Amino acid sequence: MPEARSPAAQLAGTWIMAAALPIAAVLAGRLVRYYPHLLPNRLPGLALHELAPGLLLALAIGAGLALTAHTANPPRFAIRLAILLLVALAAGVVSLLYEFGHVLYP
């Protein structure tokens, strides 16, 4: 059986997992927006096309908040929320720069 990890490694792993969730949600939301032809044709497809990126991001941030709530001496809720929102914002900016960078920097 492997030895127990240090508390610092457990804390870092928890925060890395929590930060990876909004990044993955931003990228999955971009995929939904890139490929609307893969969605159903009627109203459910339109609703998924419009609402899925925001719902995925909200779900990922909620899961990240739940993951970081059980660490030793967790920061306040507002601080954890702000950190995860900044991670999501950074992921969104990077994905948009990757997509439209050739327009901004010719």
8: in domain: no
98: in domain: yes
35: in domain: yes
Kindly report the number of other CB atoms within 10 A of residue 54's CB atom. Answer: 11
Provide the domain count of the chain.
1
What interhelical angle do 43-68 and 7-34 show, nearest 10? 170
Give the model's pLDDT for residue 50. 83
51: in domain: yes
Report the C-alpha gap between 32 and 50 in whole angstroms: 9
Give the model's pLDDT for residue 85. 92
Q: What is the pTM of this model?
A: 0.75
86: in domain: yes
Give the model's pLDDT for residue 4. 63
50: in domain: yes
Domain range for 60 is 20-104
4: in domain: no
48: in domain: yes
Give the model's pLDDT for residue 2. 57
Q: Which residues of the chain have pLDDT under 50?
A: 1
